[in-house]
Amino acid sequence: MFLREFDAANEASTKAARTALLEYLGVTSGSYDEHAVKTIFGELVGNVWRHATNKVTVGASWRMDGTAILEVIDRGPGFDLSAWRPADSLAEHGRGLLIANALSGLLTIAPGPGGAGTWIRAVLPFRKTHVAA
């Protein structure tokens, strides 16, 4: 399991966390998988930086079927999904969740642990052929 806590406003720590995540997942440099993971990670962590406190916890794990799961947890004010509306398709902002959802197999949004903050879980769009038990 991969678990990293860092300051989303700190570019160096965010890049280090992303690099460590890519290494954990074992994605090939320059591949579609790498670009998809970087984009999903960037959109979700960027939302933490813009809308919540800067402290973020990112986790990743492999399910038994070889599917990778990415989790992003913040300690911000939370996210009221019932009030959210997607941005106009030509807008330059407000499309991060749509992009992450389009690239992932499934994106779920829930209150963070203890009801504080936001917990986003993304099924990443690739499978590992062998997962150790």
Burial of 20 (0-12, 13-18, 19+ CB in 10 A): middle
pLDDT digits (tens, 9 = 90+) for 80-123: 777 767 667 676 677 788 889 899 979 999 998 888 899 999 99
Q: Does residue 13 form part of some domain?
A: yes
Based on the structure, what is the number of domains in the chain? 1
Say yes or no to pLDDT of 130 above 60: no
Higher pLDDT: 115 or 13? It is: 13
Task: Provide the residue range defining the domain that includes 65.
Answer: 2-127
What average pLDDT does this structure show over 60-76?
94
For residue 132, tell me if it sits in a domain: no
Q: What span, in angstroms and rounded, lies between the C-alpha atoms of 44 and 49?
A: 9
Asked if residue 133 is part of any domain, the answer here is no
CATH number, domain with residue 64: 3.30.565.10
- Is the residue at 48 inside a domain? yes
Question: Is 22 inside a domain boundary?
Answer: yes
pTM, two decimal places: 0.88
